Amino acid sequence: MLLTELKPGTHGIITDLSKIDRLIRRRLLDLGVVEGERVQYKSAMPFGGPYMLEICGQCIGIRRKEAMHISVECE
């Protein structure tokens, strides 16, 4: 399942980041977005805006384009 398929307020475990561009993946790793980490999908901004996630106790926003390449496993 992809991160974009989660419903608002639900949790998942990140399982695969390999489909994301190397430079973007490095930035996500710096923010704590790593495989095996628990993530909560908070909301999506309207009109194709970013996805808001809570991970490692912090809220971050990532582009919808990158969120469509992150695989998660539902809890």
The number of CA neighbours under 13 Å toward the Cβ of 27 is 10
pLDDT for the residue 48: 81
Q: What is the pLDDT of residue 49?
A: 87
For residue 45, the model assigns a pLDDT of 86
Domain spanning 3-74: CATH 1.10.1200.10: no
Measured from the Cβ of residue 8, the count of other Cβ atoms closer than 10 Å reads 11
Q: If 0-12 CB within 10 Å is exposed, 13-18 middle and 19+ buried, where does residue 14 land?
A: buried
Phi, psi of 25 (to 5 degrees): -60, -40
pLDDT by residue, tens only, the chain of 75 residues: 999 899 999 999 999 999 999 999 999 999 889 999 999 999 988 888 899 999 989 999 999 999 999 999 987
